[in-house]
Structure 1
Amino acid sequence: MAIPSPVPNTNISLQYAVLALLAAMYGPVAGGLIGFIGHALIDLSWGGSPWWSWVITSAFVGVVIGMFAKKLNVQEGVFDKTKTAIFAIANVAAHVIGWVVVAPVLDILIYAEPVKKVFAQGVFAAISNSITGVIVGGLLIVAYTKTIAKKGSLDRE
């Protein structure tokens, strides 16, 4: 789902919440592939060709968040304050580096886009994607971890 924004060719996307969840669950390789394939398919579904600089950046974001998967260990069913903070830091770092550095530089190198335009898009994308990744992605992880039986939670009859 994409919500229009005041910045040209930039939307507020909930896809980064799902990417954050899956990268946190399955690690950097899965996160990178999910980011790459997912963004490419979304671009294709809009009737155009993939915007490769942003597809690569989505893969980068998935890899970075996925690098924290072992620290988060969401499969154990615990998402406490410490893990929430780690998840938030991973998301913000991934999005800021990805959208303020990687995407604009690739836009300039690949597409010869205007510098002011791509950095304006990048800053807006970093902010909006960080917010959706942390808040909605965090809520998805909380919901997921509540479905997992904790070790020692079963009683012997």
Structure 2
Amino acid sequence: MKNNSSIKTVVAVGIGAALFFVLGRFVAIPSPVPNTNISLQYAVLALLAAMYGPVAGGLIGFIGHALIDLSWGGSPWWSWVITSAFVGVVIGLFAKKLNVQEGEFGKGKVAVFVVSNVIAHVIGWVVVAPVLDILIYAEPANKVFAQGVFAAVSNTVTGVIVGGLLILAYTKTIAKKGSLDQE
């Protein structure tokens, strides 16, 4: 059973990184903040991190964001690649509490999902990304913190709303324990 779980996680990482890349590269919505987009890929990251845990979440964020940056013809912007991985890990740390494979996504689990996204995106984009931008790239603090605050808000909103809808749709497809009656 453990081997089957590992295979599912590897497949989830591959599909998740591909979806993260496609959404981030081709469905990015421009924002008024320079070099910062409204990013729907964080909804997919939230869904898959909640389903498969911190390792899968971290790898999806890292690989997917690195591929987006590489596809633009330059080298990855490592501070943001690391932050996407961080976001996936943090949301994934709540996976056992969410346990979406049970097919339940009631008010309590929605609250946990919202809190996990808020924690991940606020710490990631308001602390981790700007500090790494300053340390790695010597970027001006006012610029990177403005980008970080916008990214935290927009990524939290897309992660919670779109990601929450994806989890809700997923949980509706799962038969509940004891839902089948014997005839």
Name the TM-score class by shorter chain.
over 0.9
- Taking every aligned residue pair, what percent have the same amino acid on both sides? 89
**Which residue pairs with 2:74 in the alignment?**
48
Q: 120, 129, 134: which one pairs with 1:103?
A: 129
In 2, Cα distance between equivalents of 1:128 and 1:110: 24
Q: Distance in 2 between matches of 1:120 and 1:57?
A: 16
Work out the CA distance in 2 between the residues paired with 1:84 and 1:46: 36
In structure 2, how many angstroms separate the alpha carbons of the residues matched to 1:38 and 1:146? 27
Residue 169 of structure 2 is matched in structure 1 by: 143
Q: Counterpart of 2:49? A: 23
**Aligned mates of 1:150, 1:49 — CA distance in 2:** 46
Q: CA deviation at 1:40?
A: 0.7
| Cα distance in 1, alignment partners of residues 78 and 121 from structure 2 | 17
Report the AA paired with residue 40 of structure 2: L
2:65 matches 1:39: yes
Distance 1:63 1:4 in 2: 26
Q: What's the TM-score once normalised by structure 2's chain length? A: 0.84
Cα distance, 1:110 vs structure 2: 0.5
Shift of 1:75: 0.1
Query: How many pairs are equivalent?
Result: 157
State the TM-score, normalized to the length of structure 1: 0.98
| Partner residue, 2:28 | 2
**Aligned counterpart in structure 2 of residue 81 of structure 1, from 82, 102, 107:** 107
Matched residue, 2:94: 68
Q: Give the letter for the 2:78 counterpart.
A: W
Structure having greater relative contact order (Cα 8 Å, sep ≥ 6)? 1
Return the offset for 1:43: 1.4
> How far does residue 46 in structure 1 lie from its aligned partner after superposition?
2.5
Q: State the SS of the aligned residue for 1:156.
A: coil
- Alignment gaps of 5+ in structure 1: none
Q: CA deviation at 1:47?
A: 2.6
Q: State the one-letter code of the partner of 2:42.
A: Y
RMSD: 0.7
For structure 2, which runs of at least 5 residues remain unmatched after alignment?
1-26
